[in-house]
């Protein structure tokens, strides 16, 4: 499964970040939404991204798996630069979980989980179903495999969405505010699932304002501010010594 980039043949894979962003820029029309964003995510690392609404968090992680095009700088995933030509291959190694779950409503839980493995990865159906059950067990929802998304709670739907992302056996998981659309009593079941995945040593980038999760799971927290990285630090430093007034204000508002 490893996607070894030819450009990095002489570099040991350990030394190479799973995701490397170099001076990434993006525009919506004339509006510069990302400006000079540079960030490395190493294998097994958990990065939490936070910041005010509109600061570019979703745009940033959507650029990483090619859901949005970037207009400047470089995005390198597992050693391959993200280009029009490499986009499809890279997306097969990046799992994505959205705020609104984005499950297919006309497909069962099982079918949601086998769709990409069967049609994109060309895995035989039986094998794809075994894999789906394995990850549905992992998020503790296998007994709902034959239900439709509308028959599940929000927390259950989000856990299915996580299982679906795992079914492509990605090198990295991206989460975009996975608990923001949930009723408060369902937030914990999803955070616990994410915490368990983190404990497995998975590489994760999570946009979230769940600062308890960030504190306990993140290796590095990134504060996005007006399209740029305002600050990036390990949790202790991030919370105890925020440098900018804008981060101080932001953290103050979360309390």
Smallest distance, ligand ADP to C-beta of residue 230, A: 12
**Are residues 232 and 21 in contact, defined by beta-carbon separation less than 8 angstroms?**
no
Find which of Mg ion, ligand ADP, none residue 54 binds, CB within 5 to 8 Å per kind: ligand ADP
Of positions 18, 19, 21, 33, contacts ligand ADP by CB under 6 A: 33
How many whole angstroms separate alpha carbon 149 and alpha carbon 98? 15
Q: Which stretch binds ligand ADP (CB under 6 A): 48-56, 106-114, 147-155, 162-170?
A: 48-56
Out of 4, 23, 28, 146, which residue is the one contacting ligand ADP (CB under 6 A)?
Answer: 28
Stretch that binds ligand ADP, among 54-62, 104-112, 127-135, 146-154 (CB under 6 A): 54-62
Residue among 54, 124, 201, 234 that touches ligand ADP (CB under 6 A): 54
CA end-to-end span of the chain:
43
Alpha helices in the chain (DSSP H): 57-64, 87-91, 109-119, 125-138, 154-166, 184-199, 211-217, 235-240, 245-254
Q: Which stretch binds ligand ADP (CB under 6 A): 53-61, 133-141, 163-171, 188-196?
A: 53-61
106, exposed or middle or buried, with CB in 10 Å at 0-12, 13-18, 19+? exposed
Pick the binder of ligand ADP from 20, 57, 164, 209 (CB under 6 A).
Answer: 57
Q: How far apart are CA 176 and CA 208, in angstroms?
A: 7
Residue 58 or 108 with smaller CB distance to Mg ion: 58
| Sign of the CA dihedral running 122, 128, 134, 135 | positive
Q: Does 59 bind ligand ADP (CB under 6 A)?
A: yes
Among ligand ADP, Mg ion, none, what does residue 10 contact (CB within 5–8 Å per kind)?
A: none
Give the residue among 168, 207, 206, 228 at the shortest CA–CA distance from 21. Answer: 228
Residues making contact with ligand ADP (CB under 6 A):
28, 33, 51, 53-59
């Amino acid at each position: 499964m490893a996607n070894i980039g030819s450009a990095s043949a002489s570099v040991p894979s350990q030394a190479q970040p799973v995701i490397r962003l170099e001076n990434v820029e993006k525009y919506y029309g004339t509006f510069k939404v990302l400006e000079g964003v540079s960030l490395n995510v190493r294998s097994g690392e958990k990065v939490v991204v936070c910041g005010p609404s509109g600061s570019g968090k979703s745009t940033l992680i959507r650029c990483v798996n090619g859901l949005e095009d970037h207009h400047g700088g470089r995005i390198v995933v597992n050693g391959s630069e993200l280009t029009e030509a490499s986009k499809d291959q890279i997306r097969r190694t990046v799992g994505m979980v959205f705020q609104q779950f984005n499950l297919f409503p006309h497909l069962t839980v099982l079918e949601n989980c086998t769709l990409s493995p069967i049609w994109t990865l060309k895995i035989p159906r039986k094998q794809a179903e075994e894999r789906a059950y394995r990850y549905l067990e992992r998020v503790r929802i296998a007994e709902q495999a034959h239900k439709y998304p509308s028959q599940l709670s929000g927390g259950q739907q989000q856990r299915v969405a996580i299982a679906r992302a795992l079914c492509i056996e990605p090198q990295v998981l991206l989460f975009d505010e996975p608990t923001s659309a949930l009723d408060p009593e369902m937030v914990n079941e999803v955070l616990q699932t994410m915490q368990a995945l983190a404990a497995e040593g998975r590489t994760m980038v999570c946009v979230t304002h769940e600062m308890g999760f960030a504190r306990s799971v993140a290796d590095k927290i990134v504060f996005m501010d007006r399209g740029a990285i305002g600050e990036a630090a390990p949790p202790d430093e991030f919370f105890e010594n925020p440098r900018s007034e804008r981060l101080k204000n932001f953290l103050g508002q979360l309390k």
